[in-house]
Amino acid sequence: MSQFLFITDLDHTYVGDDAALATLQEALSQHRQTYGTKIVYSTGRSPALYQELQQEKQLIQPDAVVTSVGTEIYTNGMEAYDSEWADILSDGWDRDRILETAGHFSDLLSQPDSEQRPFKVSYFLSEDVAPDLLPRLESALKDCSLEVRLIYSGGKDLDILPIKGNKGLAMQFIRNRYGMEPERTVACGDSGNDIALFEVGDERGIIVGNARPELRTWYEAHRQDSLYFAKASCAGGILEGLKHFEFL
Ligand code: GLC
Ligand code: MG
């Protein structure tokens, strides 16, 4: 047994099965204490909604939190905001012009203010309209020379992010910070905004058994030994995957 870097999405991945979560949290805490394993949460939620969930579900204090779909990094119990990461993301990002361009699409319904972040513009978009709208939005943004990432998750959420940011790129930034090998890094997720965690490189990936169709479809097209599709849901699936890769 030795140290590893554990990065997990929260909703419907780490959180969703309270009993399995308790077992997983116990195992991770012990591993951190004994081997110095690092625990990182990577969520689509804003810092405010993350803190609500952390309290409600008594999540153990992580070593770092990535909020807002990879666009904000916090350490030291949310006290330290990583401005180096913010500097990287700000390159070429023009929030006002994105809002203006997306504003022409009446099927895009703005998410609550709390979820609009410095490097994330978020909408609700229905599954019926998405296949037609997304390519049109993409080309409208391109026509304005706006280089961004469009990330559609859970059949309802559309996030517009800087080209230099997503969950996967934030994971690599943190991995380099900790000086951890890709082979000693494992990411877990269940939906569209987690795909970026699985497509970066030699990192290990655990897809929980309850994964959303968009992630299942992606997995079918990208099966490889570094990815494990769990049978169990949520934290139970994570425990299964950590044993499969012999991290635990
Ligand atoms: C979370 C965020 C929301 C985002 C979604 C998918 O639910 O609150 O803003 O669109 O994750 O990334
Ligand atoms: Mg999720």
Q: pLDDT tens across 64-78, in order? A: 999 999 999 999 888
Q: Alpha carbon of 208 to those of 23, 132, 220: distances in Å?
A: 16, 29, 14
> By CB neighbour count within 10 A (0-12 exposed, 13-18 middle, 19+ buried), where does 178 fall?
middle
- Residue 177: which pLDDT band, with cuts at 50, 70 and 90? very high
What are 142's two structure tokens? 């391109």
Contact indicator for 47, 67 with CB cutoff of 8 Å: yes
Q: What's the whole-model pTM score?
A: 0.96
CA gap 217, 107 in Å, rounded: 25
Residue 200 has pLDDT above 90, yes or no: no
Tokens representing 198 are: 């699985």
Kindly identify the ligand whose nearest atom is closest to the C-alpha of 15: 2
pLDDT band at residue 201, thresholds of 50, 70 and 90? confident
Tell me the two tokens of residue 134.
Answer: 């997304």
Cα radius of gyration (the chain): 18
Report residue 116 as tokens.
């609009």
Please, which pLDDT band fits residue 101 given cuts at 50, 70 and 90?
very high
For ligand 2, the distance from its centroid to the CA atom of residue 167, given in whole angstroms, is 12
Separation of alpha carbons 103 and 99, rounded Å: 6
Which of 117, 121, 159 is the best mutation target for the ligand 1 pocket, counting ligand atoms within 8 Å of the beta carbon and taking the most?
159
The residue whose CB lies within 8 Å of the most ligand 1 atoms, and thus the one to mutate among 153, 212, 214, is 153
Ligand nearest, relative to CA of residue 215: 2
Residues linked to residue 8 through DSSP beta bridges, in sequence order? 41, 188
Q: What strand order describes the sheet that includes 121-124?
A: 109-110, 121-124, 157-162, 148-153
Q: Is 115 in the pocket of ligand 1 (CB under 6 A)?
A: yes
pLDDT given for residue 77 in this prediction = 83
Domains of the chain in start order, with CATH, are 5-87+165-245 (3.40.50.1000), 92-162 (3.90.1070.10)
Q: Give me the pLDDT at residue 76, please.
A: 86
* CA 77-78-83 angle, 5° bins: 130
- Centre of ligand 2 to C-alpha 144, Å, is 31
| ipTM field | 0.98
What's the CA gap between 207 and 11, in Å, rounded? 13
CA distance 101 to 21: 42
Ligand index nearest the alpha carbon of residue 45:
1
Q: Indicate if ligand 1 lies below 6 Å from the C-beta of 121.
A: no
